[in-house]
Structure 1
Amino acid sequence: MTRSGHRLGRCAAALAIVAAGCRGSSGPGAAEPADSPTGGPRPAGIVRAVGTRPEGIVVDTRTGIVAVAVRKPDRLLLLDSGTLAPRRAVRLPGHARHLVLAGAGGPVLVPVENADTLLQVPLTGPGRTATTVGRSPHSAAAVGNGRIVVGNEVGGTLSIVRAGRVERTVPGLRQPGGVVAAGPVVAVVDVAAFTVTTFDPATARRIATTRAGAGPTHVVLVAAHRMVVADTRGDALLVFDPQPLRLISRLPLAGTPYGVAADPLTQSVWVTLTARNQVVGVCLASGHPRVIARYPTVEQPNTVAVTPGSRTVYLAGARRGEVQAIRRPARALPERTCR
């Protein structure tokens, strides 16, 4: 039975006892990843145990480091990108579910949800910068001119951080989820309003808002006029032009797509299908998105990262505490685009 089937069963049982709501993946409210099945095909590539509930993963080719957040205790693990062997661990003041690189070579932006804090952690060397932001920071993006935009999911705000302090707080969102820099604008997915909105990060001015499917969660930038939103509840990928903001195309993608990583070099995205324990490569080089690769993954693959050229895809398996690296064969590698 799918996650929605389980949830509908629980809703029916609850309604038989008391008239109360039960939010499921087919009802209102923020979409969530599916409860992934157990068993299934062996994951592709290599798999290493790393710790409890890894979620949030990035890869940096300049330093050869994969960063992943784990819990119990809350840490940021820095792994060798080739072997997945640990290099060092950084203590966190709480848990994180999403990571992003501020740029090549780092630092890693770590929104610590239950500490209302944004950490900037260098990939090499000691030290870190901590900034108190809004309630439950979920995602962040470096947007240029030294600014970082943080989406505070419970607080319904954006924090614009510069030089280690909050420069401005932007209200007016219901539940900001994914955040991405798109040239001179920042795009924010509101997971409760089912919209994507663009802002000017320098002035905090809202530029445009449009619908984003039945239950959007995360967003990445693939090219100057191509950003991709995972419509988790709607089983689809939505392709938008951020300037001006408009929907370009929709790719049906069954399996509860959730984690998404962009490879601008090949104009492709890699998307986790949490209901199937799969990761899918999607080409956006032409006007029509198309699936170009599909691999079995670790269980509960909520987050994904990819190297430039889509040479290696990394996944965090939250259920069994694993990280997976899929090294793609040379014949599968496009030179500059996935056309």
Structure 2
Amino acid sequence: MNEMTKIETTLKDWETDQEVRWCPGCGDYAILKAVQRTLPQLGCDPSNTVFISGIGCSSRFPYYMETYGFHTIHGRAPALATGAKLANPDLDVWLVTGDGDGLSIGGNHMLHVLRRNVNMQIMLFNNEIYGLTKGQYSPTSREGTKSPSTPVGSVDRPANPASFALGAGARFVGRGFDVSKNLPDVLKAAHAHQGAAFIEIFQNCIVYNKDVFDDFAAPKGAGDRQLWLEHGKPMLFGDPKTGLDKGIALDRDGLALKVVDATEENWEEAGVLVHDATNRVIAHMLVEMPFGPFPMALGVLYDDPRPTFEASVAEERAKSTAGKTANLAKLLGTGQTWTVSGTAQDPV
């Protein structure tokens, strides 16, 4: 696989002439602009980029990107994206899905694209509801969610997309939310990762699940409710205007995480952890932190590359064909063969 040749583009080069049609106020608008602003900064080439989606509100994404695109069927985008990457490993593949498309009907396909480590960026828009089909509860809906399919409240325990990705063997797991100024940084880190990069993006559904993420995403007091992780930096959070005053430390007695009082001056004394994006165990603990007692862990939670699926397939092909000459006629005549004689008028 060749390294991407960087070119100069602007946001306008990534916009199509299609009318963007989501509900007014939908978080998808902010995600679309974040992607369109990020790709020029990465030096990406629209003619070498493809966006592949399944079914759902998020899956309209390919229509609005001036690239190649494929709007596939429900839950099967990972399979189509894998095929595209194997056919042309040099393509820059972005997979767009939602919590219903990617974790319900497409859950098994998502598992396999992650465990195989196919080199692509996977953006899962999580709004904790089925938006396109009019507000039914989804795999990520919280317990008690009232919807047309759960009129007295959901009794399901919700799936945790980031935890699912880690369990499936993903080598990159990131988190952001639609209107965050830090989302482009997560997208850039995912693009730099060689392998399946899974990004959970919390997305506000203005119609069926409005402001469900305000508990951590609302601007007022956000510093106390968001832990933005950066490799090699202490896990500190708090109001940036008054100074970071809390941190995440390891409770060595219970092998669990805990919140401690800490500042940028005394964080080492307080036992605050330094984020190591290659530490899979800590990544699991971060994505499972219960919100409320803990902040929401955001940014790059895990990043530890390994050889990609398509590179391994290409290597296997090269070894199996080394020193051999392709001969289709010989192949078709190998093994058990027979000759059919007679005419159509002959009795059976």
Structure exhibiting the larger radius of gyration computed from Cα positions: 2
State TM-score, norm by structure 2.
0.27
When you count helix as a share of all residues, which structure comes out higher?
2
When you count strand as a share of all residues, which structure comes out higher?
1
